[in-house]
Amino acid sequence: MIVVTRLNGTRFAVNPDILERIHESPDTHLVTLDGAAYVVRESLVEVVELIAQYRAGVLRRAQDLPRTTGYPLSLVPPASTEPENPTTPRNGR
């Protein structure tokens, strides 16, 4: 999340992954994927820098995660080395 400031001085956090566009005219407008728009005090350049810092932080934290061996978590099991018997049902019954 990045923290930005409304024109009235209140601060709020927004997920940069849901931002569709940012534009200045002259105020900075953040427009989300669902069409919500926020006017903020930060300039376009400042918001882009906040997003870059956020993403760099995510990558830094990911590098700090412990290394895994074997198979990482996955919704799809790794390919079996044994051929599957087509006459055996998948659920083992």
Give tens-digit pLDDT for 57-80.
Answer: 999 888 887 776 666 666 676 666
Q: What are the tokens at 90?
A: 């998948």
Decide: residue 65, CB within 10 A, 0-12 exposed, 13-18 middle, 19+ buried: exposed
Which has more pLDDT, 92 or 33?
A: 33
> For 17-20, which contacts have Cβ atoms below 8 Å and span 24 or more sequence positions?
19/51
Give tens-digit pLDDT for 34-49.
Answer: 999 999 999 999 999 9
The pLDDT of residue 71: 65
For the segment 25-33, the average pLDDT, to the nearest whole number, is 97
